Amino acid sequence: MGMTHIVDRRLNGKNKSAVNRERFLRRYRHHIKKAVSDAVHRRSITDIERGENVSIPSRDIDEPIFHHGQGGKREMVHPGNQEFVAGDSIPKPQGGGGQGQGQGQASPDGEGMDEFAFQITQEEFLDFLFDDLELPNLARKKLKDTEAFKYVRSGFTTQGVPAKLDVVRSLRGAHARRLGLAGARRKKIREMEEQLADLKSAPDDLDAAFSHKDQIEALESEIARLKANVRRIPFIDEIDLRFRQHQKQPKPATSAVMFCLMDVSGSMTQMHKDIAKRFFILLYLFLQKNYKKIDVVFIRHHTSAKEVDEEEFFYSRETGGTIVSSALKLMHKIIESRYSPTEWNIYAAQASDGDNWNDDSPVCSKILADSILPLVQYYAYVEITPQDHQMLWYEYEKIMERFPQSFAMQQIADAGEIYPVFRQLFERKAA
């Protein structure tokens, strides 16, 4: 006794359960994916800053063990008797199995006991979202790190990797060092050489006692020694090395505007729109990583285009034909009036099932090439259809050839194919 050892464990880090938590999420990924998928449907594309509540039916996560069932004869001792005496009989409640002895517990907050509810974090939410999109880890990470940095030069340092060696600086340092270390000796050498020259030029005294010979020899050997010393000073030494130093700095905040263009004609089903929505979310995440301020403009069109809010964009139904150029024209108009390309980075994503009036497709192509692509950073077109392409696709293919830097297009048949389009976008932009 008296041998108590008191330890402060608070700094040991919490998250000891992180692996177990991850194991749980992994085991129930299907349930969680569904919840995430429902949430995507429900949430705004800009609303990705928080996690999500997930409920799983309790029976699905039960850990079964052998236990007594209902029935048979059972006796239980309870506390708090008020008026019972031995032999009393109490009618069983009708209807149920007649168990009712403290087995079933009421839920304190009215939440169904048959649901196991928990929260996933924003990061986990995105993970499951990306999972659905088959987003590889590298891209995932890029998307989740919302803080973006760039490296800026910040002077020089004496340590670093060879790749960052600054040759001029290093040599300048070496030169100074050589001067510093050798200067005094060189001066001495110069003095002695002068002396030596004087001695040599003077006629030598024949008298051995007054001969300069010894003096000359002494001077010569001293000069040789000093010169050797100076030679031993390295041309460049480790301490001369200078490396360029870089510091992480948050990327300057700039603004971006993201145009979402979507065909809402009758042929676009809700499934098409949901796929488009995921694509737009990805684009938004990507932009969020790079820009502090992002505006999102929603343009929907059938035969005519209209700027709408998100709700109307994704969830109202229209019928009728399709004239894509109407949306492009409207986009151009909005850029001109509100988003000057000198102040805004402009991105656009267009989703469609590929349907367009054939006469209109060359018009689209012309508007894109002449008025839009010169103004935007990037324009992505996704065609959500498992079927054969129509006129619009072939027109856009020509655009892609002409503007490989700022135009990408891809066909998507289901959600899993959204990512390839994206990869193009990333590869180019990350370089």
Partner 1 sequence: MTDIADRPNAPDSDQPRASEPISTSSEWTFDLIRQYDEEIAKCAAEFHLDTYPNQVEVISAEQMMDAYSSVGMPVGYHHWSFGKQFLSTSKGYQRGQMGLAYEIVINSNPCIAYLMEENTLPMQALVIAHACYGHNSFFKGNYLFQTWTDASAIIDYLVFARHYVAECEERYGVDAVEEILDSCHALMNYGVDRYKRPAPISAVEEQRRQQEREEYQQRRINDLWRTIPRPDGDEDAVSLKKRYPEDPQENILYFIEKNAPLLETWQREIVRIVRKLAQYFYPQRQTQVMNEGWATFWHYTLLHRMYDKGLVNDGFMLEFLQSHSAVVYQPPFNSPWYSGINPYTLGFSMFTDLRRICENPTDEDREWFPDYAGSDWLETLHFAMKNFKDESFIQQFLSPKVMRDLKLFSIENDDQEDHYTVTAIHDDPGYRPLREKLARQYNLSYREPNIQVWNVDVRGDRSLTLRHIPVDRVPLGQETEEVLRHVHRLWGFDVHLESVDDGTVVEEYHCPPPVVDDQSSGAH
- DSSP code of residue 34: H
- Residue 279 · residue 382 · CB < 8 Å: yes
Q: Give whole-number Cα distances, 79 to 76, 82, 84, 87, in Å.
A: 10, 9, 12, 17
Of 15, 201, 337, 342, the one binding partner 1 (CB under 8 A) is: 15
- The amino acid sitting at 245 is Q
Q: Which is nearer to partner 1, 113 or 152 (CB)?
A: 113
Among residues 42, 49, 72, 232, the one that binds partner 1 under rule CB under 8 A: 72
Nearer to partner 1, 35 or 408 (CB): 35
Tell the smallest beta-carbon distance from residue 7 to partner 1 (Å).
5
Q: Indicate if the alpha-carbon torsion angle 312, 314, 316, 322 is positive or negative.
A: positive
- Nearest to partner 1 of 19, 163 (CB atom): 19
* 348 vs 353: CA distance, rounded Å: 17
Interaction mask 205-244, partner 1, x per CB under 8 A? ----------------------------------------
Sign of CA dihedral 419, 421, 422, 424: positive
Does 110 participate in binding partner 1 (rule CB under 8 A)? no
Residue 185 touches partner 1, criterion: CB under 8 A = no
With CB under 8 A as the contact rule, the residue among 119, 146, 247, 254 that binds partner 1 is: 119
Which one, 70 or 340, has the nearer CB to partner 1? 70
For 252, the 3-state DSSP assignment is: coil
Q: Give SS3 for 152.
A: strand
**Residue among 23 and 389 whose Cβ is closer to partner 1:** 23
Q: How far is the CB of 264 from partner 1 (least distance, A)?
A: 40
**By three-state DSSP, how is residue 192 classified?**
helix
19: number of CA atoms within 13 Å, CB side? 1
Give the three-class secondary structure for 223: helix
Residue number with CB closer to partner 1 (71 or 252): 71
x/- site string to partner 1, residues 41 to 70, per CB under 8 A? --------------------xxxxxxxxxx
Place of tokens 């994916």: 33
Count of residues binding partner 1 (CB under 8 A)? 67
Choosing from 42, 49, 76, 430, the residue that interacts with partner 1 (CB under 8 A) is 76
Residue 140: closest CA among 294, 260, 43, 285 = 285
**Candidate ranges 106-114, 237-245, 267-275, 394-402; the one touching partner 1 (CB under 8 A):** 106-114
Considering the complex, state which of residue 26 and residue 153 has its C-beta at the smaller distance from partner 1.
26
Nearest 5°: phi and psi at 279?
A: -65, -45
Residues 6+ apart with CB under 8 A from 44: 310
- Maximal C-alpha separation, the chain: 149
Give the shortest CB-124-to-partner 1 separation in angstroms: 11
Q: Does 121 bind partner 1 (CB under 8 A)?
A: no
Task: Give 421's contacts (C-beta < 8 A, 6+ positions apart).
Answer: 279, 380, 382, 408, 409, 410, 412
Q: Is 153 in the site for partner 1 (CB under 8 A)?
A: no
Query: Which one of 3, 163, 206, 430 is in contact with partner 1 (CB under 8 A)?
Result: 3
Rounded to 5 degrees, what are φ and ψ at 82? Answer: -110, -60
Query: Which of 7, 161 has the CB closer to partner 1?
Result: 7
Rg over alpha carbons for the chain, rounded to the nearest Å, is 40
Applying CB under 8 A, which of residues 42, 49, 95, 108 lies at the interface with partner 1? 108
Q: Which is nearer to partner 1, 67 or 232 (CB)?
A: 67
Q: Which residue lies nearer to partner 1 by CB, 17 or 340? A: 17
Task: Give CA–CA dist 222/192, Å, rounded.
Answer: 9
Q: How many CB atoms lie within 10 A of CB 316?
A: 10
Among 113, 117, 218, 413, interactor with partner 1 by CB under 8 A: 117
In the complex, the residues that contact partner 1 under the rule CB under 8 A are: 1-10, 12, 14-17, 19-27, 61-82, 84-92, 98-99, 101-102, 105-106, 108-109, 116-119
